[in-house]
Structures are given as C-alpha cells and as structure tokens.
C-alpha cells in the first residue's frame, strides 16, 4: 500500500462524526485537518482524534498536506467551498447534493476540469452490499428485463431530531434534494440514467418547529415543497415512480422495488449500506446472499473508492461516487421540480454512465 490520502474536512456538524470514524479505521485515508465557521464546533468534533489540526477554512485550503477536501458543509455552501478547494488545486469530495442548484454544480465541474482535479460526491451508501447486490441480480438477469421501479421515502421531517434543521427547508433542501440523492443514485445504479421526468409537489405548512437541541421550540420558515412525487423515464425505457415526503407520518412501502419481466426485487434503504435484498419467486419472496459491494461500510467509503481509482486511469473511467453521477442526479431532481411547477414533462439534458459495479469487497472495518 502507498502513502495514505490526506483528508482535510470543512464542516464539522452532525454528519462529520460518521466520516471521522470511517477515516480513522481506514489505513488508506488520514485525517490531517478540519475547519468550520464555528471553530469551537470543529475542536469538539475532533477531540477523540489525536494529531488533527483545527484551522480556518483559508488555512486548510492552503495546507500543502491536504490532498482532498471533504466538504461536509450545508448544501448552500457546497459549491463555494468546493470552488475554494479546486482553486487551491485540491481534489474535493462533497456531501450531497453536489450543490444547491445544477448551475452551481456545473460551475464546480467546469472549474475542476480546468484545474485537472477530481470531484467526488456522496452518497456512497449505494456502493454497499444492499444496492450492489440488487444491481448484480439485475445484471445476472434474475428478474429479466427491468420494466419499472418504485421508490418511497416518508418522514414527518428531520427537524424532530436535527438541532439546526434550517437547511432542510431552504432551496437545496426539501425531501427531494435531501433524500432524493440516495434514491436516484440507487435507481441510476440499478436502471441507468434518466431521460425525462414528470412530477407534482405540495407543501403542507409554512413553518416547522425545531424538536431538539438548544433551539428546541423555535419556528423556522419552509421555503420548499415538502411532498414531491414524480415519474423518472430512464433512457432504457424503464419507469421509476418516486414519492419523497417530509409530510407523511409513516409508511410500510419498501424503500425501493424493481420490477422485471420475470420477477421483482426489494432493494434495501439506499440511505444505508446494507440490508436484505429480496427476490420474488414461485414460493414467495426469498433473500439473496450478499454478492457485491463494500461489506461493513460506513460513510466515507466513497472517499476510499475515490482514492483507490487511479488518476491516470480516470480518463474514461468515471469515479463511482463521482461528479458526473452527482450532477446528473441533481439535474434529474431539478427537472422534476420544474416539471411539478409547470405541469408538463421535462427532458433531462444531462446524462451519465451507469456507475461501474463494485465487486464483493471484504470488510472495510
Ligand atoms: N445530518 C445527517 O444525518 C446527514 C446525513 C447524510 C448527509 N448529510 C449531509 O451532510 C451535509 C452537512 O449536514 P449536517 O447535518 O452535518 O449539517 P450541520 O448544519 O449539522 O453542519 C454543517 C457544518 O458546516 C459548517 N459550515 C457551513 N457553511 C460553512 C462554510 N462556508 N465554511 C465552513 N464551514 C461551514 C457549519 O458551521 C456547520 O458546523 C449536508 O449536505 C447534508 O445533506 C447529513
């Protein structure tokens, strides 16, 4: 094994702890520095880890040790922070969505191409055994030609548990931009890119109440639609029906089902790395053994995959959790919201390669 890839993290909020744990257990990655607008939060976040410098954002960008900037800021800051990293000549790996708008995401990808640095993006959950085993089953022809999928995400809203949930209810947030990246990245992995969309969306109430933390009881404005539905027409002809909601209370619908000419699959939660993949048969449903994907993975494994994809081979070999998939997913989501607004079908102008499959990869723990 060569030298580990040195990671500098910008944004030390709620999700950062999961990344720090993954980086800590992977010898291929090393956390060297963190930054946040709130330096106390950054100090607190890395307290369990020795030898990690707490820097200003500018200092982290200028730090020659940092190979890749891991951007864990809120969606509205994703593009700005990514562009700073690119301007500093560093690779960047971003939490989802790639940016708050497709226009901002396009600026990030253009700047990265010009600077010859790489852009990776969450979600990496779809590299785990759940989505990858389902994909393997489709590729092996176990359900025949895929015809359709359904994807359902229903929660009354993250403000119940997140202490600073404002970003979920401003542009760049909402159930589609927040949770859609998991579901649509999984659907593109399973069924390929999306060519057009139709949609409808609604909003139940103008304010939400924070349910935990120091701001508990505070009301925040809702500036985005909170129940979004639509149909994604894949380039293959398969149709995915999507329901993404911060309004519904509960659901028993599977996260994702894929239906083929010969059978159907239940695909586990794409916001998780693993979970049972079920296939229909004459005797009912049976569970498929894990056959593909990173075993025992945690958030940050996409960064491992990113680091393991050789730079020189990267011409013509897309990163799996890469910028072009993330851009396409964001474009699909924006197109869906445009379709919901106009009441007409919208052509998705971007496309991407179906990400390369992940072979069954031994435990990364
Ligand atoms: N919270 C979760 O469970 C979760 C899960 C998966 C993905 N994510 C994604 O991770 C990202 C961060 O979410 P979070 O829940 O950790 O948010 P958070 O609000 O808890 O933390 C974000 C941190 O980024 C910092 N920040 C914001 N703008 C900055 C800037 N310009 N420069 C430096 N620091 C800046 C904030 O001070 C804050 O500490 C989002 O894109 C979110 O969609 C969150």
Residue of the nearest CA to atom 33 in ligand 1?
36
pTM above 0.75, yes or no: yes
> Does the pLDDT at position 1 exceed 90?
no
Q: Is 37 in the pocket of ligand 1 (CB under 6 A)?
A: yes
124 in contact with ligand 1, CB cutoff 6 A: no
Q: What is the mean pLDDT of the chain?
A: 96
Whether 208 shows a pLDDT value over 60: the answer reads: yes
pLDDT per residue over 38-62, tens digit each?
999 999 999 999 999 999 999 999 9
Contacts 24+ apart (CB under 8 A), 214-221: 214/163, 215/163, 215/164, 220/159, 220/165, 220/166, 220/169, 221/169
pLDDT at position 343 is: 96
pLDDT of residue 308: 86
| H-state helical runs in the chain | 16-25, 39-45, 57-62, 75-87, 102-115, 129-139, 174-191, 301-308, 323-342
Average pLDDT over residues 280-294: 96
8 A C-beta contact, residue 187 and residue 131: no
Nearest CA to ligand 1 atom 5: 15
Note the residue count of the chain: 365
pLDDT of residue 313: 55
């Amino acid at each position: 094994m060569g030298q580990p890839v040195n990671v500098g993290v910008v944004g030390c909020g709620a999700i950062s702890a999961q990344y720090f744990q993954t980086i800590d257990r992977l010898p291929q990655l090393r956390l060297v520095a963190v930054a946040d607008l709130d330096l106390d939060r950054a100090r607190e976040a890395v307290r369990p880890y020795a030898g990690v410098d707490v820097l200003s954002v500018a200092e982290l960008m200028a730090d020659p040790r940092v190979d890749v900037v891991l951007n864990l800021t809120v969606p509205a800051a994703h593009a700005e922070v990514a562009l700073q990293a690119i301007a500093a000549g560093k690779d960047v790996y971003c939490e989802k969505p790639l940016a708050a708008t497709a226009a901002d995401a396009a600026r990030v990808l253009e700047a990265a191409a010009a600077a010859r640095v790489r852009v990776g993006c969450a979600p990496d959950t779809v590299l785990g055994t759940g989505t990858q085993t389902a994909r393997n089953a489709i590729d092996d022809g176990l359900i025949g030609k895929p015809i359709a999928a359904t994807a359902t995400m229903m929660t009354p809203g993250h403000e119940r548990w997140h202490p600073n949930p404002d970003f979920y209810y401003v542009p760049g947030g909402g159930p589609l931009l927040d949770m859609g990246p998991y579901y649509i990245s999984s659907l593109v992995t399973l069924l390929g890119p999306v060519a057009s969309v139709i949609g409808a969306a609604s909003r139940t109430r103008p304010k939400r109440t924070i349910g935990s933390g120091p701001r508990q009881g505070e009301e925040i404005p809702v500036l985005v639609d909170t129940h979004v539905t639509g149909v994604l027409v894949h380039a293959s002809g398969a149709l995915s029906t999507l329901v993404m909601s911060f309004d519904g209370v509960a659901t028993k619908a599977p996260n994702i089902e894929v239906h083929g000419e010969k059978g159907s699959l239940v695909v586990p939660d794409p916001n998780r790395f693993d979970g049972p993949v079920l296939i229909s048969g004459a005797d009912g449903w049976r569970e498929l053994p894990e056959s593909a994907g990173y075993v025992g993975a945690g958030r940050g494994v996409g960064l491992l995959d990113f680091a393991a994809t050789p730079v020189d081979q990267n011409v013509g070999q897309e990163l799996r959790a890469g910028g072009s998939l993330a851009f396409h997913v964001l474009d699909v989501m924006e197109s869906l919201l445009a379709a919901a607004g106009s009441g007409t079908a919208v052509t998705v102008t971007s496309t991407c390669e179906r990400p390369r499959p992940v072979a069954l990869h031994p435990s990364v723990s």
